[in-house]
A = this chain, B = another copy of it.
Amino acid sequence: MYARTSNECAFVGGISIASRKEVAELAGVSEATVSRVLNNVGPLKEETKERVLAAALQLGYTPSSLAQSFARRRSGNLGVVMPYLPKTRWFSTYYFSEILSGIGSKAREEGYDLLMLFRNAEEPMDYSELFKMRKIDACIVLGAKEEPGELDSLRRLKEEGHPYCLINQHFEGEAFHEVDADHVEGSWQAVRHLLNQGFTRIAFLNGPASYSNSRDRLTGYLRALEESNLPLDDSLLFEGNFSRKSGVIAAKEMLPLLNAIDAIVAANDRMAIGLQQGLQELGIPRDHIPAIVGYDDSDAAELTTPALSSVRVPFYELGEIAVTKVLELLGCSPSETSSSSQVIHIKLPTELVIRASSKIMNPKEE
């Protein structure tokens, strides 16, 4: 391979590719100058600049980002860690597509490429390994969950001072960088809305407690009840896994208690819809179905009949902000990034969107 020392063009896909050397020769300058022109560094004569640019254009020269990354010791990639694929269905795909859109548009704006990383079923992903391999310069973790392997991996990430950020998951007592929505407020809003309408026996279909946002939602639920001096009734607490099906199942579980329930808050829209459908399938007449409020305000919320009231979460913005923050960390010196200093902890507000599913015939809403 290194016999062809005088080689001046590589091949890719059967097409020759111009080298920096050729550009330099054509422009009558050194390779360094070509590099400088292309990166616009140092003082450069305008005329040289033009000559080099012209030569590059004429030869169709494009620097290899592979080589650039190597020389700069930066991949230019922003890692996005996704949950194990089959699990994705549990959340809405809406959830992820919104966040991803936010991440994608911001990353592009900042000149970073998006590297998708899917968690595996078996081994917990070793995030710091990704940095050691130089695959990514920063990373955003979605759908994290409180599991031993996950936690260890995140701790290492933090200790080693890599630029990272969690979205929508908080680890108690860990001080990870995180961007989140205020789910305590969100579920509080939902319950408050129902209370305002005169409902008092409000069931709560939550997600798995291993997600911090599930716990947050429970807190909001409890707080709202407490504020109205309503006692907590454990039998009104249910748990699903964010899937529609688990909503259907919850409907069955609620059946015996249905006369003691006049409203339900669900932890996401899919479960809320499953609930609607499950109750209908069980033969509950439409006007006996409790008021229902979902969560996420996904596009599915307006696909159902009656349309689903829901708590809007600014997913797109969460994605954007996460990118901004994580790139800020990247900008800092490693020492600043490290542990102690500034921990990112952002909480965006939620907003209740009221639709037909939570309205009563003679509303008492103030």
Interface residues of A (CB under 8 A from B): 10-15, 17, 60, 62-67, 69-70, 73, 75, 77, 82, 85, 88-89, 93-94, 96-97, 101, 104-105, 108, 113-118, 120, 128-129, 131-135, 160-163, 244, 273, 277, 280, 299-300, 302-305, 334-335, 337-338
Contact = CB atoms under 8 A, between A and B. Distances in A.
A245 B187 CA distance: 29
27 contacts: A10-B73, A12-B131, A12-B134, A13-B131, A13-B337, A14-B335, A60-B132, A63-B133, A64-B134, A65-B134, A65-B135, A67-B134, A69-B70, A85-B101, A88-B97, A89-B299, A93-B299, A108-B118, A108-B120, A113-B115, A114-B116, A244-B299, A277-B303, A280-B305, A300-B303, A303-B303, A303-B304
A15 to B, nearest CB: 5
Given A118-B104, A334-B14, A66 B73 contact: yes
Nearest to A117: B113
A294 to B, nearest CB: 11
Contact of A93 (B60, B93, B115, B302): B93
Contact of A13 (B96, B118, B162): B162
A75 B65 CA distance: 9
A116 B99 CA distance: 14
Contacts of A131: 12-13
A67 B71 CA distance: 9
A118 B105 CA distance: 8
A116 B134 contact: no
B118 A115 contact: no
Given A62-B132, A62-B133, A14 B303 contact: no
Contacts of A300: 300, 303
A-B pairs, top 9 by smallest CB distance, nearest first, are: A14-B334, A66-B134, A93-B97, A114-B116, A70-B70, A13-B161, A14-B161, A65-B133, A15-B160
Contacts of A134: 12, 64-67
Contacts of A64: 132-134
Given A12-B160, A66-B135, A70-B70, 11 more contacts: A12-B132, A13-B128, A64-B134, A69-B69, A85-B105, A88-B97, A88-B101, A113-B135, A244-B303, A273-B303, A277-B303
Nearest to A64: B134
A85 B65 contact: no
